[in-house]
Structure 1
């Protein structure tokens, strides 16, 4: 199983780094897009046909989903590479309405994208098979309906965990338990002291969760463009003795 970072800038894109988006490539040859923030579709085009993938959304804030309308254009209208099958789309319950409004032609319309994607709403703790990976959502602590995702290869047992956007919460530890790779947001930088509650984590908290969950590798992502990345990395390392990596666009992890 392979994980490619399409973009991992926090809250908005940064120069040379799109907002949140990841490509999971299970060993069976399928492809799974995990979030699709601004700029990530262009990065995906450099790797594969964007129409040849399932789509997962941790939540529907703009920095995690705003390239969806462009994906619909590609899937429906590309002269050579448009979708030839329906893929699965999983996300919060309001995904068809929220994203349908983004792709509709009129202000009050909701585009029905079921012609090209089959939607299923997340249910906390309920595992879904998506391509060649088993995905289990865990309710996260973030404004709106949001989830952390545990993605497991059913043959090898290897696990990639993704916090999505979330403040520190026991569910994040559960999602990451024993993960081979844990991608954890650190949007507040080195520390969450003085920051808004119930929204994001810091490098310090990401390291603490990684230690509590017993993960093998920790990747810090969703760091905002104005934040000191090196200080965030150092803070994570004070709490976690394992390997800690600053996420960067184009990084590929073999799991």
Structure 2
């Protein structure tokens, strides 16, 4: 598997860095787009045909999903690269309603995306098999229905874990257990002290979780424009001895 960072800015885009979006590329199978925040679709176009991908959402805050209506325009109407069939879209239970309202033609209307996506609702700890990958959601702590995601390549057993947005929870430790690559948010910068509870984690907490889970490679992401990435990285290093990187647009991680 290969992870291509489409965008990694936290809570909103920053100059040169879209909000959350990650592309999982696989051999001989459609790719998987994991979250699609504002600006991420443009970077996806630079890598591959956006129609040739499944889409999975950790949750439906705008910074993780707002490019989805534009993706449907591409899939339905592009003169050359429109979707030839349906892919999977997996996410929280209300995904068809929330996403449908974003692209509906009338107020309170719902654009039915079942013409181009088959929907799979997340249920905590219940795996979904999507082509060559098994994805298992874990309950996240966030103001709306949210999940951390564990992706395992069936043929190799390689694992990518993704925190989504969450406060510190043992569910995230279980999600990331022995992962080859752990994409972990670090919204609060170096520490969560004095920050809003039950929303996000810090670089220090990301490092602690990576150690407790025994992950092989930690990648910090979802750092907002006003936080210092290097300070966040240093805070993580104080709690995790393995390799650490910052997620940046265009970054590639082989698993």
Q: Structure 1 stretches (4+) deviating beyond 6 angstroms?
A: none
Q: Which moved more, 1:145-154 or 1:20-29?
A: 20-29
Structure 2 Cα separation of the partners of residues 47 and 132 of structure 1: 20
TM-score (norm 2): 0.99
Q: Which moved more, 1:21-30 or 1:52-61?
A: 21-30
Structure 1 Cα separation of the partners of residues 53 and 202 of structure 2: 31
5+ residue gaps, structure 1, are none
**How does 1:132-211 map onto structure 2 within 5 Å?**
132-211=132-211
Structure 2 Cα separation of the partners of residues 97 and 241 of structure 1: 43
In the TM superposition, residue 225 of structure 1 has moved relative to its aligned partner by: 0.4
Residue by residue over 1:29-85, the C-alpha shift from the partner in whole angstroms, topping out at 9 and shown as x without a partner, is: 320000000000000000000011000000000000000110010000001110001
Structure 2 Cα separation of the partners of residues 146 and 2 of structure 1: 24
- Residue aligned with 1:234, SS: helix
In the TM superposition, residue 26 of structure 1 has moved relative to its aligned partner by: 2.1
In the TM superposition, residue 130 of structure 1 has moved relative to its aligned partner by: 1.3
Residue by residue over 1:113-165, the C-alpha shift from the partner in whole angstroms, topping out at 9 and shown as x without a partner, is: 10000001001001101122110000100111000000000111000000000
- 2:120 paired residue number: 120
- 2:248 paired residue number: 248
5+ residue gaps, structure 2, are none
- 2:94 paired residue number: 94
- 1:72 paired residue number: 72
- 1:17 paired residue number: 17
Alignment coverage as a number of residue pairs? 255
Q: Which moved more, 1:89-98 or 1:127-136?
A: 127-136
Structure 2 Cα separation of the partners of residues 118 and 29 of structure 1: 17
Structure 2 Cα separation of the partners of residues 224 and 38 of structure 1: 14
Q: Contact (CA 8 Å) 1:30, 1:132: kept in 2 or not?
A: no
- Residue aligned with 1:166, SS: coil
**How does 1:216-227 map onto structure 2 within 5 Å?**
216-227=216-227
TM-score (norm 1): 0.99
What RMSD in Å do the two structures reach over aligned CA positions?
A: 0.6
Q: Contact (CA 8 Å) 2:132, 2:155: kept in 1 or not?
A: no
